[in-house]
Amino acid sequence: MVTNTLTVLQRENARLQAENEALTAELRQLREFVDILVEVAAAEEALTADSTLLPALQRMFDRLLDLLRAPEGSLLLLDEDAGELQFVLVRGSLAEHLRGYRIPANEGIAGWVISHAAPALVRDVRRDARFSETIDDAFKFRTQSIAAAPLVGGGRVLGVLEALNQPVDEPFSDMDVTLLGLACRFAGEALVNAERAQPTGRA
């Protein structure tokens, strides 16, 4: 009887410790996320043109991918006139090749995110019909998982941020996608404000 009781207590203690560790990790993640937003907000308040904001967006992009434990990722902006998405910020093995590279705005999971103005969580891209192998084939890359969210500002979809290949058995969580989506909305509004801060060229 005593042995059974001790076993039950040990199991309950282990469960509570695991829950506490998970909550501590989640709190740490949320605090770092808030720090990221604060940094972008500070840059936005000081901006006079979009060039002032770009370094802050680069830092947000890097810190966000670190937070999501994503070794690869990209931020693409929408060129509505050309109907294309352009890689502006890129992390990972394809960074030198993809900066400035363009793809059709309706292609792949990024295109789906743009057209639906909604985030996407794909843990195995080979099982998702939306995935396009254009980049993988062109640059001998292997995408495994994607968490993506639209950059939205001023009621417009401006682009998409993708985090790739989180190295765990079940890559990316719903929380990861929620944080990604919030960051993209924040960054999108900052981009719109940067556009408004640009000189109009009129006397």
Question: Does pTM top 0.85 for this prediction?
Answer: no
**pLDDT for res 201:** 46
pLDDT of residue 190: 81
Q: What CA–CA distance (Å, rounded) separates 182 from 190?
A: 13
Tell me what pLDDT residue 24 has: 67
- Domain range summary for the chain, segments of one domain joined by +: 2-197
Tens-digit pLDDT string for the chain (203 aa):
666 776 766 676 666 676 666 666 666 766 776 677 666 666 655 554 555 677 878 888 998 999 899 999 999 999 999 999 999 999 999 999 999 999 999 999 999 999 999 999 999 999 999 999 999 999 999 999 999 999 999 999 999 999 999 998 889 999 899 989 988 988 888 888 777 766 554 43
Residue 202, pLDDT score: 43
Query: 99-104 — which CB contacts under 8 Å span 24+ positions?
Result: 103/76, 103/132, 103/134, 103/135
Q: How much is the pLDDT for 18?
A: 67
DSSP one-letter code for 126: G
Within 100-173, where are the H helices? 108-116, 134-139
Topology adopted by domain 2-197: Beta-Lactamase (3.30.450)
Instruction: State how far the Cα of 200 lies from the Cα of 203, in Å rounded to an integer.
Output: 9
